[in-house]
Chain A
């Protein structure tokens, strides 16, 4: 039976958190009020771990997590909205960089975020780009798009050593979670390949996989099978599997719903050009960034894609 995205992720988190030893789990409304729109409800921890509802001090909540990680201990901060995360940017650059250079035995610090991308909510709520975050100091970011992501990333990365940010998308919360199993993935879950084909290479960023999968199925029904990838982060530009795919299909479609002018897809296309590969390309992105009042929906038309390629 297909399960609802948010419930599915919440259950996976409950199971994982119940088994964690010696963790400091914290955030605003984490065990009271809305439970971060249901993301953190019914969390239970072992006696040697703590779950703490905190004041609204995002910058310091983030710095505090780095302090815990630096001491070889473990922390998970659950929060809502990437916009508020911007209050802690100093730590993503300066604190993390200093910790990296000083090379202590690292504990775990994970920020788990509910990304508010469900639609236009005013000019302020506009930051949703994980690639922008990842590029700041070369850390891992993960966007949970599928049941596979929820299973693997929560199990392997949530409590893993080092710093990383994991996000879920509010626009997906009431939808059925995509159950598609990957055909290939890198060991660190940086790149996950969900479909295989010869017609077109489709590369998704951020929270676009569900829509891209629909397009892939549409094209497949028309006899055009595609390679479909999701990239969680790409701080080292290691696109080997995608380069191989484009060499085969000679076409690439990049889909990114980030409200950013600095899309990772541009770098990917440049990388392909530097490899002297002849290919056609298209980027489906937001035409307007949301400092203007706008329709915030993100539409993809498979007919137009077929015409282009």
Chain B
């Protein structure tokens, strides 16, 4: 478990490094996912290298979890040939074929059917016995392709899992500012699909449930849905703080914890690890960040 916690801390420090570099305009704006580190690392720790990831423009936490090499990620953001996608895909479409991240779409809802196709290729046209996971957000479930893909995937019996990161934030608006609530559990139940709900701050308690749902998907060739509620600490895109009226204030000098409550997985890890151990790991990570930032 400590290995996983260390990976989550590393994912956070890597994103804080990218945030600082964006402030210096080292590369084009990135859709950071500060707050998503725990989910990305836990999924990565459960799924193996054969399992396939289909992501969105906000793919950075998962790319960092799979690659764990910030230099290759920075190269990609700088469109350099030693980047994870040969410097050809940049931020929003970042993929990493060596780590089975085969598609990232910046078009909301576009990746559902592409993930379904990948899952058909894996399970029906070859016998790979892996899970394809499509990761997206609460905005994308407003697209028709979400509903279409549920119907199709359910009809075709494929090992596909759809993870909805509900951070109550899409296209710079809260859910209540654009629509009425959607009850994913009821939608899943109406189609007889396996569904897992993870509330705010519950992630570390639900690791076994996530394992179980992937195991069910893989074993039975069945679609499953995971909905996780979490908070994204950064703005839509670009550095925080960004433009003058940006209310989000994120500085690496303030340490790894961004919010002192259970919405921040790093705050929870401090409790799990104990202050002494956490402070030690935080210091190691911040020194590492200084070394990386000096390189660029």
Interface residues, chain A, CB within 8 Å of chain B? 22-24, 50, 52, 54-55, 57, 59-75, 90-91, 94-95, 98-99, 101-102, 104, 107
Contacts and interface: CB of A to CB of B under 8 A. Distances in A.
B85 A67 contact: no
Interface in B12-36: none
A24 B125 contact: yes
Interface of B: prevailing SS: helix
Given A24-B120, A60-B113, A70 B102 contact: yes
Contact of B107 (A65, A71, A94): A94
14 contacts: A50-B124, A57-B151, A59-B113, A63-B112, A63-B116, A63-B117, A67-B118, A68-B117, A70-B117, A73-B121, A101-B89, A102-B95, A102-B97, A102-B103
Given A61-B113, A104-B97, A22 B155 contact: no
B110 A74 contact: no
B265 to A, nearest CB: 31
B145 A59 contact: yes
A284 to B, nearest CB: 38
B151 A55 contact: yes
Given A57-B151, A67-B120, A99-B103, 9 more contacts: A22-B125, A24-B120, A63-B117, A64-B117, A65-B117, A66-B114, A66-B117, A68-B121, A94-B106
A23 B121 CA distance: 10
Contacts of A104: 97, 102
Nearest to A71: B121
A95 B114 contact: yes
A67 B117 contact: yes
A53 to B, nearest CB: 9
Contact of A63 (B88, B110, B121, B155): B110
B109 to A, nearest CB: 9
Contacts of A23: 125
Interface in B124-146: 124-126, 144-145
B60 to A, nearest CB: 17
A33 to B, nearest CB: 16
Contact of B118 (A55, A68, A74, A90): A68
A24 B124 contact: yes
Contacts of A101: 88-89, 93
B91 interface: no
Contact of A54 (B54, B95, B155): B155
B182 interface: no
Contact of B102 (A61, A65, A71, A95): A71
B152 interface: yes
A60 B145 contact: yes
Contacts of A52: 156
A270 B3 CA distance: 65
Contacts of B38: none
A74 B126 CA distance: 11
A62 B88 CA distance: 25
